[in-house]
């Protein structure tokens, strides 16, 4: 098959993936990879790029073991053929770290994320948005690995840097505050988590539409922290709002609507038990 035809199929597979047609993307990418594996050298950039993309499709399809195996191969090849700070090599290492985290191999995920963050810091400097994004992801991996204190330290640094370069309502800045609140909650610092989430919710109420997923996620998280701190009445108020909103905008069988109803029911039972004590 002519290379131009393979390129068209490769781009079609990416379009399938973006459109949520994961199985078709996987099938097409497996074919492209098989052809390139026979026709190009092991270190050829197009062959490695197609393997990388197939691994991403495997992750989207829930085939995490297959993604890990393929990315380990790509990273090993690129270790021998590309410089330490090569952008494609760092992208592959980053993707492998995400796959490790999804596979429960959190220590290996943290190790690789540390490598990527260190490399980007040397080449981009401490204030570059890409570095801050990867530090945010490293903090998430640390939380998954139970390194809560380190996650908090990383996120506090990210937020301090973002305060200097991003507007108050920038989505990345709000996402970092949300993640730090989650870490505070995991560390038992409920009051600090509440203060951050109340701030995030207040900003998003002025900048995002009522049914925006990020706004609902922040409200949901705030309700959970209220409940964890014994403020079940405030948790019920927020959860009741979310249930009513999703009742108007989602079908009866939609998973998000059912999840909200379930969480509201649990919070209501806890609230009633507390009142009875």
DSSP 3-state of 130: helix
First to last CA, the chain: 74
Pick the CATH number of 1-83 from 1.10.10.60, 1.25.40.10, 3.20.20.70, 3.30.70.360: 1.25.40.10
Where residue 1 falls among pLDDT bands split at 50, 70, 90?
low
pTM: 0.86
Q: Mean of the pLDDT values across residues 165-179?
A: 95
- Would you place residue 5 in the very low, low, confident or very high pLDDT band (cuts 50, 70, 90)? confident
Q: Which residue has the tokens 């922040």?
A: 218
Cα(132)–Cα(162) distance, integer angstroms: 8
User: CB-based contacts of 27: which residues, under 8 Å, 6+ apart?
Assistant: none
Q: Where in the chain is the domain with CATH 1.25.40.10?
A: 1-83
- Give the distance, in angstroms, between the CA of residue 175 and the centroid of all CA atoms in the same chain: 10
CA 117 to CA 225: how far, in whole Å? 30
pLDDT at 277 over 80: no
Above 90 in pLDDT, residue 24? yes
């Amino acid at each position: 098959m002519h290379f131009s035809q393979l390129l068209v199929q490769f781009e079609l597979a990416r379009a399938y993936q973006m459109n949520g047609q994961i199985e078709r993307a996987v099938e097409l990418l497996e074919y492209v990879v098989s052809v390139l594996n026979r026709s190009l050298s092991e270190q050829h950039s197009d062959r490695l790029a197609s393997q990388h993309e197939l691994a991403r499709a495997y992750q989207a399809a829930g085939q995490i073991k297959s993604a890990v195996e393929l990315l380990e191969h790509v990273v090993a090849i690129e270790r021998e053929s590309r410089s330490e700070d090569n952008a494609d090599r760092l992208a592959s290492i980053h993707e492998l770290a995400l796959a490790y985290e999804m596979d429960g191999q959190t220590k290996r995920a943290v190790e690789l994320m540390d490598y990527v963050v260190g490399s980007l810091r040397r080449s981009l400097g401490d204030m570059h948005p890409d570095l801050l994004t990867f530090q945010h992801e490293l903090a998430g991996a640390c939380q998954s690995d139970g390194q809560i204190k380190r996650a908090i330290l990383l996120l506090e640094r990210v937020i301090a840097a973002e305060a200097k370069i991003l507007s108050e309502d920038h989505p990345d800045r709000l996402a970092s505050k949300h993640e730090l609140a989650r870490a505070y909650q995991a560390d038992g610092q409920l009051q600090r988590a509440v203060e951050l989430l109340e701030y995030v919710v207040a900003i998003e109420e002025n900048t995002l539409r009522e049914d925006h997923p990020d706004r609902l996620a922040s409200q949901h998280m705030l309700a959970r922290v209220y409940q964890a701190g014994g403020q079940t009445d405030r948790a019920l108020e927020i959860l009741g709002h979310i249930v009513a909103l999703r009742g108007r905008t989602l079908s009866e069988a939609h998973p998000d609507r059912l999840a909200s109803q379930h969480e509201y029911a649990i919070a209501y039972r806890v609230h009633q038990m507390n009142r009875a004590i």
